[in-house]
């Protein structure tokens, strides 16, 4: 029997369609179908200036806007060959880790809801709201922050934001314990997740899975450790790795990652460096507003940056970062002008879809929903 699931299905987390060939209740083959959310962001980026691409990267993986901003900015900065002030790097790290927590909270809430645990969903949304309030305080926007810019960040940290983060990191660990109390030893949860959707270490690597799905299959691979960026080498944190490769282990990896993210934020905020929040290079970032009335050079830089934008030297580069779903990377080709020649996103959800359908073959129809949830796909970055 052929069964069509999606694109409008509540548990496909967006407009994802999968065509299931069934033998009774067992899935024989799962054929994915994507493209329902194609917005042509890569094509659009080739016709916009570098700075104008940043708001579009927010919309790729809409649960992790700072991570996408960061990957794009790091790639551009690598081509520009500029150094970023320590304070800006620490602010970037804090924003990315907050986004990771918020993203994992959305994943945990919806994943648990798919499998039938209603309460966790409400708890997760409660804590996510605190992160979104922090986003609003520092960037003015709850979700599509566009906070990380080429050369630094958009604004310096404010007192209420820092106070809010101190409150959040005090409050949050007890809440993670609460989610675990509801799920980790829950017999229904364990029955629905243990030994289901298993992918071995070799298969996970061969299918190009990344992030928590790869680490749940026993691969110790985290871009923050293996290719550190934005000063991640200065923070002490663990990379959770489990060997089961099933839904339950992916759940445990992400739960532990939330604790580790909280740990990174704690370290970053305890020793938040003083100094600039963006590079003083006025070819890249706007000069301070108050200097425009006194300095001719500042006025010229301001005019040139606003009217022309940043000119990036000729070349090509690829910079990966570790997002909540895995490796997010931008491959940028520059032809020396103020418009990127080619922008390619390495989207972890896109790369994970064939592997996910591999997990579905041979499982029961009721577990398909759990497998989709455990990979945590975001269709915005799949279809781009």
Partner 1 sequence: MTGEEIIAKVKASLPDAIQDTALPQGDAVIFVAPDCLQKVAAFLKDDPSLKFDYLSDVSGVDYLIEEREPRFEAVYLLYSIDHSHCIRIRVGIEEENPSVPTLSELWKGALYPEQELFDMFGFHIEGHPKMERLIMPKDWVGHPLRKDYPLTTEAVTFSYNRDFKSELVKSKPPTR
Q: Does 60 bind partner 1 (CB under 8 A)?
A: no
Q: Does 364 bind partner 1 (CB under 8 A)?
A: no
Tell me the window of 58-66, 186-194, 268-276, 328-336 that interacts with partner 1 (CB under 8 A). Answer: 328-336
Bridge partners (DSSP) listed for residue 295: none
Tell me the window of 37-45, 258-266, 270-278, 294-302 that interacts with partner 1 (CB under 8 A). Answer: 37-45
Q: Does 21 bind partner 1 (CB under 8 A)?
A: no
- How many degrees, rounded to 5, is the angle at CA 12 between CA 9 and CA 17? 75
- How many degrees, rounded to 5, is the angle at CA 357 between CA 355 and CA 361? 115
Shortest distance, CB of residue 195 to partner 1, whole angstroms? 22
Task: Report in angstroms the alpha-carbon separations of 292 from 154, 218, 296.
Answer: 18, 55, 7
Crossing angle for the helix pair 159-183 and 118-139, nearest 10 degrees? 170
Q: Does 228 bind partner 1 (CB under 8 A)?
A: no
Of 38, 126, 271, 283, the one binding partner 1 by CB under 8 A: 38
Q: Does 316 bind partner 1 (CB under 8 A)?
A: yes
Q: Which is nearer to partner 1, 152 or 355 (CB)?
A: 355
Q: Does 333 bind partner 1 (CB under 8 A)?
A: yes
Sequential DSSP letters for 263-295? HHHHHHHHTPPPS-SB-S-TTTSPPPGGGGGT-
Q: Does 200 bind partner 1 (CB under 8 A)?
A: no
Contact between 324 and 211 (Cβ < 8 Å): yes
Q: Where are the alpha helices (DSSP H) in the chain?
A: 41-45, 50-58, 65-80, 86-115, 118-139, 159-183, 187-193, 201-206, 212-215, 223-226, 247-270, 296-307, 348-360, 365-375, 379-383
Q: Does 175 bind partner 1 (CB under 8 A)?
A: no
Q: Which is nearer to partner 1, 37 or 310 (CB)?
A: 37
Shortest distance, CB of residue 53 to partner 1, whole angstroms? 14
- Other C-beta atoms closer than 10 Å to the C-beta of 300 total 12
Burial class (CB in 10 A: 0-12, 13-18, 19+), 313: exposed
Shortest distance, CB of residue 49 to partner 1, whole angstroms? 15
Of 9, 52, 59, 78, the one binding partner 1 by CB under 8 A: 78
Of 263, 317, 338, 362, the one binding partner 1 by CB under 8 A: 317
Backbone angles phi, psi at 196, to 5 degrees: -115, 140
Q: Which is nearer to partner 1, 20 or 353 (CB)?
A: 353
Q: Which residues bind partner 1 (CB under 8 A)?
A: 34-35, 38, 40, 42-44, 46-47, 78, 81, 205-210, 219, 221, 226-227, 315-318, 320, 327, 329, 331, 333, 335, 341-342, 344, 346, 350-351, 353-355, 358, 383-384
């Amino acid at each position: 029997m052929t069964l069509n699931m999606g694109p409008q299905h509540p548990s496909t987390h967006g407009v994802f369609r999968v065509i299931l060939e069934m033998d009774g209740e067992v899935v024989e083959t799962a054929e994915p179908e994507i493209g329902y959310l194609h917005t042509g962001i890569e094509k659009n980026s080739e016709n916009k200036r570098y700075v104008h691409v940043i708001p579009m990267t927010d919309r790729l993986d809409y649960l992790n806007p700072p991570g996408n901003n960061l990957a794009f900015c790091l790639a551009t900065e690598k081509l520009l060959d500029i150094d970023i002030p320590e304070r800006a790097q620490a602010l970037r790290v804090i924003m990315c880790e907050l986004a990771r927590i918020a993203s994992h909270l959305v994943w945990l809430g919806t994943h648990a809801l798919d499998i039938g645990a209603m309460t966790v969903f409400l708890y997760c949304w409660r804590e996510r709201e605190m992160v979104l309030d922090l986003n609003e305080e520092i960037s003015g926007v709850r979700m599509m922050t566009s906070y990380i810019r080429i050369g630094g960040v958009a604004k310096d940290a404010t007192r209420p934001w820092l106070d809010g983060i101190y409150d959040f990191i005090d409050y949050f660990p007890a809440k993670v314990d609460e989610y675990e109390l509801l799920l980790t030893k829950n017999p229904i949860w364990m029955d629905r997740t243990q030994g289901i959707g298993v992918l071995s270490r070799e298969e996970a690597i061969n299918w190009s899975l990344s992030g928590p799905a790869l680490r749940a299959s026993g691969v110790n691979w985290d871009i923050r450790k293996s290719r550190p960026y934005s000063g991640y080498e200065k923070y002490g944190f663990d990379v959770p790795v489990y060997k089961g490769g099933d839904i339950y282990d992916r759940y445990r990896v992400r739960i532990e990652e939330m604790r580790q993210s909280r740990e990174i934020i704690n370290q970053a905020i305890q020793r938040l460096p003083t100094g600039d929040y963006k590079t003083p290079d006025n070819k890249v970032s706007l000069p301070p507003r108050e200097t425009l009335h006194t300095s001719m050079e500042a006025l010229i830089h301001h005019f040139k940056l606003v009217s022309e934008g940043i000119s990036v030297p000729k070349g090509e580069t690829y910079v990966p970062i570790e997002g909540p779903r895995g490796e997010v990377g931008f491959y940028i080709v520059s032809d020396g002008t103020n418009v990127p020649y080619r922008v390619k996103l390495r989207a972890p959800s896109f790369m994970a879809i064939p592997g996910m359908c591999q997990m579905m073959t041979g499982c029961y129809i009721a577990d398909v929903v759990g497998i989709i949830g455990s990979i945590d796909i975001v269709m915005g970055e799949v279809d781009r």
